[in-house]
Structure 1
Amino acid sequence: MADLKISRRQFALLTGSGLVARQTARAQSGALTAGQVVERIQKQVRIPWNPKTYRDTFKIGGPEMPVNGIVSTFMSTLDVLQRAVASGKNMIVTHEPTFWSDADEVKDLGGDPMYQFKLAFAQKNNLVVWRFHDHWHARKPDGIFEGWNRALGWEQYQAAGDQRVWNIPPATLESVAQHVAKVLDSRSVRVIGDPQLKVSKVGRGAHTLAGNMAVLPNVDLLLVSEAREWDSIEYVRDAVLAGEKKGMILISHEAGEEAGMDNCAKWLRSFITEVPVEFIATGDAFWRPA
């Protein structure tokens, strides 16, 4: 029987909510642990696992935590953590960071009230958060782009051997932008180019200027999930002003990867059957004035 290890701080936090007894009972009953979930993911993703990854690691809690349900999400925001608790699930598989930096570096956050609040909430509610980024992208096919294709309804238009290019039926830039905003349920869609420009070859751009410069010459339309406004966006605007028949649709990072984590939930259900698995959307962070 595995020993359940709880720090004094964790014990104090958990006792108030009555979770210690339930956590102990699950551990004694041989319940699925977070570490076992990760081991299955590492096996099922079917690519060599990088032991030096700093992204795909535990961010809150650890491998010994018993799991009563799993949430797949784009980003483990406080709202997602709260909704996971409300749904009775305590393991969050997040694609993006929990503590606001790529490496979830917390050494300088010790006195930050938001860090303390979020961590205390997670510990009080027996949550474990594990990030799944690099290896989900490295999977063949890329798990994020696979979900993205499905959400856009463009699977049949995907170029042979290239998840980043689509040959869609000719349409105006405006109508494609409207389609993207609708199917991705996003308020954060912005467009560069002539609304009536006819486009048929669409390329998924990059976060970087170099990546977008490489794709743009070969497509009519760049579809970009987050890029810096002062480089990629201005490069495309200058190209249009110079007479290039090009367009760009800029969406949020969340809108570009949310569907990929819905896809992750479906994938997880194929080999984790002991506990429920649910996708919880992070949602668009922004609102627009009327």
Structure 2
Amino acid sequence: MKISTIIENMKKYHKGYGTIDEEKTRDKVLYGNVDQECTGIVTSCWASVDVIEYAIEKGANLIISHEALFWNHGDHQEWLEESKNSVYLEKRKLLDDHQIVVWRDHDYIHSGIPYKGDYIDGIFLGLAKKMGWEDKLIVNPINEFEPSLLCSTAYSFDHSIKAKDLAKELIDTCHLNGIKLIGNSNADIKKAAVLFHVFGDANEAIKNTDKSDVDCLLSMELIDFTYAEYLRDSGMLGRNRVALGMGHFNLEEPGMEYMLEYLDEAIGEHIPAWFKQSGDNYEYMTKDCCHDH
């Protein structure tokens, strides 16, 4: 099957097909010639150099990535061409030498994949599957966001779990190098929610959090100012609330791993496919680590 057909079939599988604006969507062919037969597929959150080399090793010529390829919103390459950026040129050569196509699946997978007669965000269903939380989903996040907070989906646990224990479970299960813990590290968590991006102005998030019964915010980006400050003060005043800063790619990566479960159905044909974790962006040096050495 040609790569162009695979991409079109993937789009049709999602709720957003026919409504997502093809001119404005982020879901573009980021690199390569789609008019070739597919030899294999690698899914990942980000087509890093390691992911590209993994695809080469597997003989796969299609990478389905959730995020941009060349380090900027919209994946523009002109500025890199003009400046003759050495890393860009070397990464591009890897793709050229092995005729690899990179297609971004961002807006479509978030728009929803079929699930129990309806649609659900494929990324956060993947997180639920990875963590064994599928039966703990509070709502179908495509149809109704958690109303008490600016979040995309929420999970309700049968029994409370300590913040540090949940952090360790996330680190172990999702193969992370670490997690930032902000707020009350002794919080008892019965309800967790995936928080939308907080880049700066957090007035609405702060107002909604104060009235919310969510104990744990699973965050993507979380800068030191505004919301993080509020959470620290909340913890110092004994509020039962904590944020676990997993990082953007780490939180969404399980959704790209779960894609392997429905890829054949979506494409309409079996094509060899593998998941490659793009991995934690950070390595951590802690105080204890420094003292050990």
Question: Which TM-score applies when normalising by structure 1?
Answer: 0.83
Corresponding position: 1:287 with 2:260: no
Q: Corresponding residue for 2:2?
A: 33
SS in 2 for 1:223: strand
Q: Corresponding residue for 1:255?
A: 250
Provide the rounded CA distance (Å) in 1 between the counterparts of 2:127 and 2:270.
28
Provide the rounded CA distance (Å) in 1 between the counterparts of 2:57 and 2:85.
26
| Percent of aligned pairs sharing the same letter | 24
Q: CA contact under 8 A between 1:54 and 1:103: conserved in structure 2?
A: no
Larger Rg: 1
Task: Report the RMSD for the aligned CA atoms in angstroms.
Answer: 1.8
Corresponding position: 1:217 with 2:187: no
Q: Which moved more, 1:82-91 or 1:174-183?
A: 174-183
Provide, for residues 71-111 of structure 1, a one-character-per-residue CA deviation record: whole Å limited to 9, x for no partner. Answer: 11100001100110001101001000100012101111011
Q: CA contact under 8 A between 1:205 and 1:212: conserved in structure 2?
A: no
Q: CA contact under 8 A between 1:222 and 1:247: conserved in structure 2?
A: yes
Question: Which TM-score applies when normalising by structure 2?
Answer: 0.82
Corresponding position: 1:235 with 2:224: no
Corresponding position: 1:131 with 2:125: no
SS in 2 for 1:204: strand
Q: CA contact under 8 A between 2:260 and 2:273: conserved in structure 1?
A: yes
Tell me the CA shift for residue 229 of structure 1. 2.5
Q: CA contact under 8 A between 1:71 and 1:92: conserved in structure 2?
A: yes
Provide the rounded CA distance (Å) in 2 between the counterparts of 1:238 and 1:52.
44
Corresponding position: 1:109 with 2:99: no
Map 1:48-63 → 2, pairs under 5 A:
48-63=19-34
In structure 2, the CA distance between the partners of 1:127 and 1:230, relative to structure 1 (3 Å rule), is same
Q: Corresponding residue for 2:60?
A: 89
Corresponding position: 1:77 with 2:48: yes
Q: Which moved more, 1:278-287 or 1:213-222?
A: 213-222
Provide, for residues 167-206 of structure 1, a one-character-per-residue CA deviation record: whole Å limited to 9, x for no partner. Answer: 1111221211111211111113011233322221212112
Unaligned runs of 5+ in 2: 113-118, 142-151
Q: Corresponding residue for 2:149?
A: none
Q: Which moved more, 1:204-213 or 1:187-196?
A: 204-213
